[in-house]
Amino acid sequence: MGGSTAKPPVRELVRMSGLTNAFLLVAVFGLIALVLRHVERH
């Protein structure tokens, strides 16, 4: 039990979380930009 090779790749998890966070930020900013454009049209 408890082998060092059994540890989950923490670096990979950090990369995945960082990518997901960046993607969420981009999506949120994109939605805000779309909403602002829609409001400005009116």
**What is the band of 15 on the pLDDT scale with cuts at 50, 70, 90?**
confident
Q: How many residues does the chain have?
A: 42
pLDDT digits (tens, 9 = 90+) for 19-34: 999 999 999 999 999 9
Stretch 6-12: mean pLDDT, rounded? 79
Long-range contacts of 34-39 (CB under 8 A, 24+ apart): none
Per-residue pLDDT, 10: 85
Per-residue pLDDT, 4: 62
Residue-range domain boundaries for the chain: 10-41
Look over the chain and give the mean of its residue pLDDT values, rounded to a whole number. Answer: 86
Q: Count the helices and strands in the chain (H runs, E runs).
A: 1, 0
